[in-house]
């Protein structure tokens, strides 16, 4: 999708309801976003949203807004850093590779986001979850693999590639994996290897594959041509969101 077309799509989205959230990972400044329920009595669960490879965009901000409508405090994380926003797919690939090739750094940035989430008024720090899209879906899985203090994670069309760690502890966070059945970027061998590793790590996971869906199926910005390997799929987007809601109802 061209930058002009993407701008038009984003301009058509409803107004944002949350607000910017500056936070840090050590000395690195990060520019996130927080959305809160209209009325909170006591404390509520918190959800961290991890962006796709283009960095934090209105897609993740609106996701945080929708989570707030469901009664959660939601923080859209900034993994790349303040002002680091890829201008095209080449820059996005470079940024994503930086973190996917250094999982320790990726996990550190996710933890920084979780710390910012826990610091928000009204958040119950014992009831946290992480969700993510594409690159961020990989991050959600990393949060579970790292044993970060979350009850559950949800990956929407995330990458399933990983380096096996024979010393890894069993995964305690529950997991929901929402996968495009025809995603050309996640081959069947990656799916099989992922599921084998989940069994080895005694993970409590649900794996849902949506027929006809390719990569980025939740994102309208991806366009509507599945032949490109990335495309919005209304049915898969709607069903996966409902699956997430059901997962959270059980989780929290």
Residue-averaged pLDDT of the chain: 93
In this prediction, residues 29-51 reach a mean pLDDT of 94
Q: What is the mean pLDDT of residues 60-82?
A: 97
DSSP-assigned letters across all residues of 74-88: EEE--SS-TT---SS
Whether the predicted pLDDT of 4 surpasses 50: no
Confidence band for 40, pLDDT divided at 50, 70 and 90: confident
- Per-residue pLDDT band for 13 (boundaries 50, 70, 90) equals very low
Rg (CA), the chain: 17
Q: Region 26-31: what's the mean pLDDT? A: 97
Distance separating alpha carbons of residues 77 and 207, to the nearest angstrom:
24
Tell me the mean pLDDT in the region 213-231.
95
Look at residue 41 and tell me whether its pLDDT is greater than 90: no
* Tokens describing residue 152: 């559950």
pLDDT on residue 166: 86
pLDDT per residue over 83-111, tens digit each?
Answer: 999 999 999 999 999 999 999 999 999 99
Is the predicted pLDDT of residue 50 greater than 80, yes or no? yes
Percent of the chain clearing pLDDT 70 (strictly above) = 94
What percent of the chain is modeled with pLDDT above 90?
88
- Of the pLDDT bands very low, low, confident and very high (cuts 50, 70, 90), residue 209 is very high
**28: its two tokens:** 């690195």
> Mean pLDDT, to the nearest integer, of 64-88?
97
Secondary structure E strands in 26-163: 28-35, 44-50, 73-76, 123-133, 152-156
Residues, the chain: 252
What pLDDT sits at residue 26? 96
Tell me which residue of 133, 188, 192 sits closest to 158, measured CA to CA: 133
Q: What does the domain layout of the chain look like in residue ranges?
A: 3-251
- Between CA 15 and CA 169, with CA 249 as vertex, the angle to 5 degrees is 105
Cα angle 218, 105, 196 (rounded to 5 degrees) comes to 60
Residue 100's contacts (CB-CB under 8 Å, 6 or more residues apart) are 106, 135, 138, 159, 161
Q: What is the pLDDT of residue 14?
A: 56
Cβ atoms of 194 and 203 within 8 Å: the answer is no
In this prediction, residues 183-206 reach a mean pLDDT of 96
- Whether pLDDT at 251 is above 60: yes
- Separate counts of helices (H) and strands (E) for the chain: 7, 8
CATH homologous superfamily for 3-251? Alpha/Beta hydrolase fold, catalytic domain (3.40.50.1820)
**How far apart, in Å, are the Cα atoms of 133 and each of 83, 121, 156?**
20, 26, 5
- Tokens (6 digits) for 50: 């991890």
Q: Judge residue 214's burial from the number of C-beta atoms within 10 Å of its C-beta, 0-12 exposed, 13-18 middle, 19 or more buried.
A: buried
- What pLDDT score does 8 carry? 42
């Amino acid at each position: 999708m061209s930058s002009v077309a993407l701008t038009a799509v984003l301009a058509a989205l409803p107004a944002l309801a949350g607000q910017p959230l500056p936070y840090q990972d050590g000395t690195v400044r990060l520019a996130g976003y927080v959305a809160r329920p209209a009325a909170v009595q006591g404390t509520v669960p918190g959800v961290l949203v991890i962006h796709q490879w283009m960095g934090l965009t209105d897609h993740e901000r609106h996701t945080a807004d929708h989570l707030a409508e469901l009664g959660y405090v939601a923080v859209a994380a900034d993994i790349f850093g303040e002002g680091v926003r890829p201008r095209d797919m080449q820059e996005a690939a470079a940024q994503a590779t930086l973190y996917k090739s250094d999982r320790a750094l990726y996990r550190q940035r996710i933890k920084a986001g979780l710390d910012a989430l826990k610091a928000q008024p009204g958040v119950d720090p014992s009831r946290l979850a992480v969700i993510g899209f594409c690159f961020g879906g990989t991050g959600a899985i990393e949060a579970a693999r790292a044993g970060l203090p979350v009850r559950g994670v949800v990956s929407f069309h995330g990458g399933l590639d990983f380096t096996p760690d024979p010393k890894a502890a069993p995964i305690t966070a529950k997991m929901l994996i929402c996968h495009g059945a025809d995603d050309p970027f996640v081959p069947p061998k990656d799916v099989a290897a992922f599921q084998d590793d989940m069994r080895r790590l005694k993970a409590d996971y649900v794996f849902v594959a949506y027929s006809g869906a390719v990569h980025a199926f939740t994102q309208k910005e991806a366009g509507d041509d599945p032949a490109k390997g990335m495309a919005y799929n209304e049915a898969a987007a709607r069903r996966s969101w409902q699956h997430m809601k059901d997962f959270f109802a059980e989780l929290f």
